[in-house]
Structure 1
Amino acid sequence: MKKFITSLVALSAVSLAFVGSTNVSAQDGNLEIFNQKIEMQATLQEIVADFNEEFGANAEVVTVPDAGTVLRTRMANNEAPDVINVYPQNADFKQWAADNRFVDLTDQDFLNNLVEGTAETYAINDRIYNLPLTTNSWGFFYNVDLFNELGLEVPATWSDFEALVNQIKESDHIPFAGAFSTQDSWTLNGYHQLAWVNAAGSPEAANDYLRFSEVGAISAEDEVTQKVAEQLSLLVDNAQPNANGASYADSIASFVNGQGLILPNGMWALPVIMQQQPSFEVGTFPYPGQEAGQELTVGAADLAFSVSEESDNKELALQFLEYMTREDVLVRYYDIDGMPTTLTALQDHFPFEQTRAVSELVNTDKHFIWLQSEWNSEEGFWHATVDYINSGGDINVLETGLNNHFDPMKN
């Protein structure tokens, strides 16, 4: 398993050092738990430490920079971690599962601890290869105290949202705390997807236009593309200085420091926000629709584990998955993370009022699975988002970026 480091030539020296220091070989009692939830690393490590004590194991959480790329490289090199935090809505998971790279969990008793049907949502050929424990969602954080002080209201419609941004600017404040760098363009994935669903009318219609149209079909002349561009333009020149190069961490710091009143991001950002101890009350609101009552959010399985078919310790790995479905264990994660959980025992437990306005839409018709569940890749879509914003709102840049991303999938 350690040899995978030599194949990651694209990673920085710092990244390689980090991978090398945390890699765990699969031996008796040892278990590598590959984590993609950077903001939840400390909590997961605490849970794993208690698992080790109870079962006499030597499991270790591995969290690396650019985890998605690292995981794909390792899977390609047949060096899969034992337990993998993987996103079962994504195309790479679907292919790996179809290729029998994961242990079949269909008959595992611990699935009975989940709300009926949740694991089946991500089944491949009617078999279950993943344990989805929480569901993410995407929306907007906002500074409740400044909203109240300035007499601002949470938008119910898209026109309300546009008016809100103008009100914030007129009050000499900055509307958004943004991360518009290419490196962290993923933070706006939800915004861009929601804009397409809003403009096209449904997730299916959005993917029919983006993914399942002819090569080169995405056009700046089309009404739906123009509607999307108009919604993305709300971010253009309306964020903190240097937002074009800002990282995920930078945008959260700008929000916590009161520099931007609204932070567009997934609800997964709440733990990081609260760790920085903001001096104001934090609230959230979903992506507004054209009319009141048409608000939306997007998301899918977030903390979700699969077991590698290559693992030398499948029994211990399955024991860890069972352990994570215990109410007293998952509640420790849930009370920090706050994402809606699939665990039946925690359905009446809601730890954070801050995210309720968005999270309560999960498992309703106002929540859809990430559009990339039908794509071969997603990074190009992220980059097209920030390229458009950083171009000052040039719709031809958006057209080019999207066609460059989707055309290879259509051949």
Structure 2
Amino acid sequence: MKKMWKVAASAVLAVSLLAGCGNTGTNTGSAGEDAGVSEGGAAKSVTLKMFIAQPRFKEQYDSYIADFTKKIKEEKNIDLKVQLEMPNPDNAPQILKTRLASNDAPDIFGLHAINEIPSFYKAGYLEDLSDQPFVGKLMDSVKPAVTIDDKVVAVPLETLSWGYLYNKQIFTDLGLTPPTTLSEMKAVVEKLKQNDVTPFLLSYKESWIPQLFLPLAAGAMINTENTDFINRMNKDEGSFSEMKSMFEIIDLVNANGTDRALETGGDDGAAAFAQGKAAMWIQGPWYAETILASNPDFEFGVAPLPINDNPDATLINLSVSTSLAVSPSSSNKEVAIDFINYILDDEASNNFFQSVKFNPLATVHTYESYPWVNDATEYVKAGKSYQDPSIPQAVKDEVGKALQSYFAGQMSQDEVLQALDKSWRDYNKVNK
């Protein structure tokens, strides 16, 4: 997924991982020459820069990078230092674009497969990885999301089946089941309030969270009643005024949620949800690790968000989000690509993917799926799902900020929709 955190300063987490003993050279390796084993057996020193906007998984990445550092020391006699930068996801896209445009690209960087690969590829920022071993391990359902012009340009980390999260214990205690229409959702909300349970957890401090309404509400409409919306918007022939009905579910959630929404971020929201402060959270299962860290016994489910009274429009969103790419300008390309392949190492990747609670996405993944994954899969099997709409990242960024302002009473519905139209038109001007 995820994306995270409003106007926080970028956290630069430098991880200097120096593996092994022995002689350490003074050179910084490059892909073809310096990265290999030197004459006489002296180790080469290589510094690899990584940019991954998932700071909540810092511990897991540190551990996995340390394992890779040890492996490359043993196999290629390289003393590897990794500088791992993990900015808040709200700020990360702009930081990364600035770096790439100023020829200060990280060797490896994270990007959203659906939202960002097309524009990054067009700008020449993505190395062709088609001939790498990891490609043959990808599940057939995953590979297209990281493929463009018949080239695989990233290794996927997260595949997502999501809608909203609900507290299974609360639903069971009150005899509730996930609603299939907006009217049913209103009835669920009333039943919860009658039993002194707050229906929704609101955590809007970070703009990427209210942004989730767009791929859910607009996405479901695009896949049922407005199927040519994306194409028309790409031609400046559509308008978000066609999506105005999405405010029905947005307003329902906002009117029946926890207090201090604009002061509550993702981590705080996860802790509150795990403590039973609300029955539902408009959020994806990418927060599973954080939720369970607060309450290991907590049971939550994943269900599709109703947006109107058409049950056929109550659908699970299927997506490939965070993926890792290699910069074509990297001076350490060989080592960077070695790490990209290590992401889907036949053995090590199982523990890593389990530790961050990502879904299996490769044939080498043999670990058991999580209960919330199975919940979403049941909807998918029943044909109740759609592919995440290809909405430009700039538009998603804009809707997050606009919905924060809407919640605060600073923008009207029409003003939000006009801001989204303008954002898409501006995107078209740059990307035509």
* Global fold match (TM > 0.5): yes
Name the structure 2 match of 1:85. Answer: 110
| 1:140 equivalent in alignment to 2:157 | no
Whole-angstrom distance in 2 between the partners of 1:338 and 1:286: 20
Q: Which amino acid aligns with 1:187?
A: I
- Name structure 1 gaps, 5 residues minimum: 1-10
Compared CA separation, residues 186 and 209, structure 1 to 2 (3 A)? farther
Distance (Å, rounded) in 2 between the aligned partners of 1:22 and 1:168: 46
Q: Do the aligned partners of residues 180 and 109 (structure 1) sit closer, same or farther apart at CA in structure 2, a change above 3 Å counting?
A: closer
Check 1:55–1:199 CA distance in 2 against 1; reply closer, same or farther (3 A cut). Answer: closer
Q: 1:208 to 1:98 in 2, by over 3 A?
A: closer
Compared CA separation, residues 26 and 80, structure 1 to 2 (3 A) = farther
For 1:30 and 1:52, locate their aligned partners in 2 and report how far apart those are by CA, in whole Å: 11
Contact conserved, 1:177 with 1:261, CA < 8 A, in 2? yes
Contact 2:129 2:153 in 1 (8 A): yes
Shift of 1:185: 2.0
- 1:71 matched to which residue of 2? 96
Whole-Å separation in 1 of the counterparts to 2:13 and 2:270: 29
| Structure 1 residue 249 displacement after superposition | 2.1
Matched, 1:196 2:218: yes
Asked if the contact 1:197–1:205 (Cα under 8 Å) also holds between the matched residues in 2, the reply is no
Judged with a 3 Å threshold, the aligned counterparts in structure 2 of structure 1 residues 116 and 218 are, in CA distance, closer, same or farther, namely closer
Q: Is the 8 A contact 2:219 2:389 kept in 1?
A: no
**Aligned-partner Cα distance in 2 for 1:133–1:218:** 31
Q: For residues 352-386 of structure 1, what are the alpha-carbon distances to aligned partners after superposition, in whole Å with 9 as ceiling and x for unaligned?
A: 103422256569771312432x5654311222233
Partner secondary structure for residue 259 of structure 2: coil
The separation in 2 between residues aligned to 1:192 and 1:44, in whole angstroms, is 30
Change beyond 3 A, Cα 1:384–1:23: farther
**Do 1:381 and 1:405's aligned partners in 2 also have CA atoms closer than 8 Å?**
no
Q: Which runs of 5+ in 2 are unaligned?
A: 1-6, 18-26, 30-44, 74-79
Matched, 1:186 2:208: yes
Is residue 32 from structure 1 mapped to residue 49 from structure 2 by the alignment? yes
Q: Would you say the 8 A contact 1:338–1:350 is kept in 2?
A: no
| CA contact 1:178–1:243 (8 Å) conserved in 2 | yes
1:234 aligns with 2:252: yes
Q: Distance in 1 between matches of 2:232 and 2:62?
A: 42
> Relative to structure 2, which stretch is displaced further, 352-361 or 186-195?
352-361
Is residue 207 from structure 1 mapped to residue 230 from structure 2 by the alignment? yes
2:12 is matched with 19
Alignment of 1:260 with 2:278, yes or no, is yes
Residue 403, structure 1, aligned to residue 421, structure 2: yes
Q: Residue deviations 1:96-121, cap 9 Å, x none?
A: 32343222111223211112363343
2:402 matched residue in structure 1? 384
Structure 2 vs 1, CA of residues 278 and 239 (structure 1 numbering), >3 Å: closer, same or farther?
farther
Give the TM-score normalised by the residue count of structure 1.
Answer: 0.83
1:59 aligns to 2:77 (yes or no): no
Distance 1:100 1:398, change over 3 A: closer
What is residue 185 of structure 2 aligned with on the other side?
161
Amino acid at match of 2:47: N
CA contact (8 A) 1:179 1:251 kept: yes
In structure 1, which of residues 344, 362, 366 is the aligned counterpart of residue 363 of structure 2?
Answer: 344
| 1:176-233 deviation per Cα after TM superposition (whole angstroms, max 9, x unaligned) | 111123xx12113332222113345257434256554448x443xxxx4342111211
Identity score, percent: 22
Partner of residue 5, structure 1? none
1:244 equivalent to 2:262? Answer: yes
Question: Which shifted more, 187-196 or 306-315?
Answer: 187-196
Task: Give how far 1:81 is off.
Answer: 0.9
- Cα contact 2:120–2:126 (8 A) shared by 1: yes
Corresponding residue SS for 1:319:
helix
Aligned equivalent of 2:195? 171
Compared with structure 1, are the counterparts of its residues 26 and 205 closer, same or farther at alpha carbon in structure 2 (3 Å cutoff)? farther
1:234 CA displacement: 1.4
Task: Supply the distance in 1 between the matched residues of 2:143 and 2:244 (Cα, whole angstroms).
Answer: 37
The match for 1:295 among 308, 314, 317 is 314
Deviation of 1:43 after TM superposition, in Å, equals 1.1
TM superposition shift of 1:52: 0.7
The equivalent residue for 1:311 is 330
Q: CA RMSD in A?
A: 3.1
Distance in structure 2 (CA, Å) of the matches to 1:118 and 1:281? 27
Residues 203, 336 of structure 1: CA spacing in aligned structure 2 closer, same or farther, 3 A cutoff?
farther
Q: Does structure 2 retain, via aligned residues, the 8 Å contact 1:178–1:251? A: yes
Q: 1:390, CA displacement in angstroms?
A: 3.2
Post-superposition CA distance 1:153-194 (Å, at most 9, x none): 22133322121112112222211111123xx12113332222
Q: Report if the CA contact (8 A) 2:233-2:424 is conserved.
A: yes
* Aligned partners of 1:138 and 1:286 also within 8 Å: yes
Render the CA deviation track for 1:324-347: whole Å, top value 9, x for unaligned.
21232221122133333320122x
| Cα distance in structure 1, aligned partners of 2:393 and 2:110 | 20
Change (3 A) 1:316 1:361: farther
Bigger drift between 168-177 and 379-388 goes to 379-388
Q: Mark the structure with the bigger radius of gyration.
A: 2
Judged with a 3 Å threshold, the aligned counterparts in structure 2 of structure 1 residues 360 and 97 are, in CA distance, closer, same or farther, namely: farther
* 2:35 corresponding residue in structure 1: none
Local SS of the residue matching 2:208: helix
